[in-house]
Structure 1
């Protein structure tokens, strides 16, 4: 009898287990232990903060210098690309009364800009550059609210020094004041210095690389600046981009007139070479390669170009000078650098090089036409 009862219990248990397993087999069971959750936590964790140099270099690609001509004379301001239509955000006071707006990009190219929207009491404006249509804009924090202590990067062209960088923090919120005939309401106070020429440039969130505000005003002391939050003006910017003002039918067509080549100067030539080295140091070989002339690219495939710099860790510019070349509208730039390079045995060594580059326009684009490098013992 005991054997019969035991067998009966086992049969009931097996049948019960089968029923329970069949009933719950379609359910997904989530682990609750820390070990079980580890994989999902890693997969869904926020992205690691990007390297500061990488954020600055990538942001600079979307930052421009605005050379403005008006009845009051010539002035310099900053701006940044915020959409794929070629639309540049800047301050209204930068482009007020503009008769001609020349936009200089990070790779030293020049384009004509057209004002398509400008605030009367709010110090913001939008300039359209049709030649920049399709270019990648800077990512924008459309509704972000900053906190005091947030680390920031201010980009622009203070005193005409293109693509200069200052860093700091959000040091105050909701600042209100009037300047000229513009009303600043609820703006950010920042510790990053703002100088003439910075106006209109982006204020970048140091952690994410996104634009959180527009640098707009500074103080004579130089240690306090004010930036207009993107959340307060973004809808107005979109409206101007959607319904542009002051554009004729001709203005809405990309410029195909490449007969007029800008006059080359030493400043632009040296800037291009410096930008070339900045791209190499950050490992952005695609951008560096794009700055080379067609003949150089033809004789040096991209992979060969990249391989020749892949072991370069850092570059320090010691001397740079430029002088007009024998050819018209061409400059020769000579530069001496210290290059920290990785050797085959994984050790590093610093080498000194003297480099000479020929800078000129090719199809109306400023390029490094040729170059020669000599190692200095």
Structure 2
């Protein structure tokens, strides 16, 4: 591929965190446990090795998925949502730096729906990787890592994580390209795997797993654009040494991390009060990031409109200019009023229409969301 074409393509590259305070979790069935222990503890790597040594048949793809999901977690950091996976027996989780940037403490949710507190013990300012330690997961079986060698084009792969907040999701595909490199400030991505398995916001930090061996090949980290099936994963061998150094000697101070309460870790949008989530909603629309805008809405609103219909409603809208924003505090919620000017593309031509919008903003399951809204032309 020519250098000029890559430069054009990279203008659309997106890291995969899901931010903005609107995470929407779909809970699976009640926690599955065995003798009171989380599913993560069911089988150790040593046991897996022993089974292979005894001549048992190679695991099927379904068995690899079931086994891997027990070691993959959802990470909630401030107003951001991402994924991660256990990589050692110290309870350490590998993830992307942009998933936890801005936070020292995060919440980790397992397959069986247990939630634990985790501490960021290592994070890079230029390579998009981080390590989170969860003491409650210490000594549980980690995923096996492909520490040597590299994947090849055509290798079948699985991508695990929580796209759009849908936990325990698995997508399939192949390694479709090698040695992809680019920058998405502030991170530099080098020698990545290009993959065809669909990934999107919330997949960040989740594992790329070989369908053949069940070993982790990489960390899913970026996509080419919102509607593309081109994703990118950081190869495990390129970051494993750094991760192990953090696990051996945790950082005492994290680099350039703002206060957790003042920043959205995925977007660098200030979130001082309820006005900011409404402003961020319109900023996301202007950026063409309909996924984030949709997941800033409360569950009642979402139940009345699908993501596809929500996105379609803005395809004939250009830039939205944000005017005055006012806040009226209420008991458990807040009323945010905002004036906007929307560029609308109609059959008769482009029209600039003014609106006064009113939104009810409040917390839902601990996350700040836009619960209801109405507006009128002015």
Length-normalised TM-score, structure 1? 0.52
Which string of whole-angstrom CA distances, capped at 9 and with x for unpartnered residues, describes residues 82-121 of structure 1?
A: 0000000000010001153100011100000000000111
Q: Relative contact order: is structure 1 or structure 2 higher (C-alpha 8 Å, sep ≥ 6)?
A: 2
User: In structure 2, how many angstroms separate the alpha carbons of the residues matched to 1:213 and 1:106?
Assistant: 20
Residue 98 of structure 1 aligns to a residue whose secondary structure is coil
Residue pair 1:195, 1:222 contacting (<8 A) in 2 also: no
Q: Comparing both structures, which one devotes a greater share of its residues to helix?
A: 1
Which string of whole-angstrom CA distances, capped at 9 and with x for unpartnered residues, describes residues 231-261 of structure 1?
A: 101111110100011389xxxxxxxxxxxxx
Give the counterpart of 1:60 among 49, 69, 74.
69
User: In structure 2, how many angstroms separate the alpha carbons of the residues matched to 1:82 and 1:228?
Assistant: 15
Distance 1:51 1:203, change over 3 A: same
Corresponding residue number in structure 1 for 2:205: 200
User: In structure 1, how many angstroms separate the alpha carbons of the residues matched to 2:248 and 2:147?
Assistant: 17
Residue pair 2:193, 2:233 contacting (<8 A) in 1 also: yes
Corresponding residue number in structure 1 for 2:245: 239
Residue 221 of structure 2 aligns to a residue whose secondary structure is strand
Length-normalised TM-score, structure 2? 0.52
Corresponding residue number in structure 1 for 2:282: none
Which string of whole-angstrom CA distances, capped at 9 and with x for unpartnered residues, describes residues 344-374 of structure 1?
A: xxxxxxxxxxxxxxxxxxxxxxxxxxxxxxx
Which string of whole-angstrom CA distances, capped at 9 and with x for unpartnered residues, describes residues 263-291 of structure 1?
A: xxxx9xxxxxxxxxxxxxxxxxxxxxxxx
Residue 167 of structure 1 aligns to a residue whose secondary structure is strand
Residue pair 2:71, 2:143 contacting (<8 A) in 1 also: yes
User: In structure 2, how many angstroms separate the alpha carbons of the residues matched to 1:93 and 1:235?
Assistant: 19
Structure 1 unaligned spans of 5+: 1-42, 249-266, 268-377
- The runs of at least 4 aligned residues of structure 1 exceeding 6 Å deviation read 43-47
User: In structure 2, how many angstroms separate the alpha carbons of the residues matched to 1:242 and 1:161?
Assistant: 33
Residue pair 1:115, 1:246 contacting (<8 A) in 2 also: no
Shift of 1:123: 0.4
Distance 1:44 1:110, change over 3 A: closer
Residue 239 of structure 2 aligns to a residue whose secondary structure is helix
User: In structure 2, how many angstroms separate the alpha carbons of the residues matched to 1:97 and 1:143?
Assistant: 32
Give the counterpart of 2:114 among 87, 90, 109.
109
Distance 1:205 1:46, change over 3 A: farther
Corresponding residue number in structure 2 for 1:118: 123
Corresponding residue number in structure 2 for 1:91: 96
Shift of 1:219: 2.4
User: In structure 2, how many angstroms separate the alpha carbons of the residues matched to 1:225 and 1:46?
Assistant: 36
Residue 188 of structure 1 aligns to a residue whose secondary structure is strand
Corresponding residue number in structure 2 for 1:368: none
Corresponding residue number in structure 1 for 2:188: 183
Distance 1:242 1:209, change over 3 A: same
Q: CA RMSD in A?
A: 2.1
Residue pair 1:154, 1:203 contacting (<8 A) in 2 also: yes
Which string of whole-angstrom CA distances, capped at 9 and with x for unpartnered residues, describes residues 156-211 of structure 1?
A: 00011111000000000000100121000100000011100000000000001110
User: In structure 2, how many angstroms separate the alpha carbons of the residues matched to 1:55 and 1:243?
Assistant: 32
Residue pair 1:148, 1:170 contacting (<8 A) in 2 also: yes
User: In structure 2, how many angstroms separate the alpha carbons of the residues matched to 1:233 and 1:46?
Assistant: 33
The reply to whether residue 173 of structure 1 matches residue 173 of structure 2 is no
Residue pair 1:81, 1:138 contacting (<8 A) in 2 also: yes
Corresponding residue number in structure 1 for 2:234: 228
Q: Specify the structure having the higher radius of gyration (Cα).
A: 1
Q: How many residues align?
A: 203
Residue pair 1:126, 1:240 contacting (<8 A) in 2 also: yes
Residue pair 2:194, 2:232 contacting (<8 A) in 1 also: yes
Shift of 1:44: 9.3
Corresponding residue number in structure 1 for 2:258: none
Corresponding residue number in structure 1 for 2:139: 134
Distance 1:242 1:164, change over 3 A: same
User: In structure 2, how many angstroms separate the alpha carbons of the residues matched to 1:163 and 1:58?
Assistant: 12
Residue 93 of structure 1 aligns to a residue whose secondary structure is helix
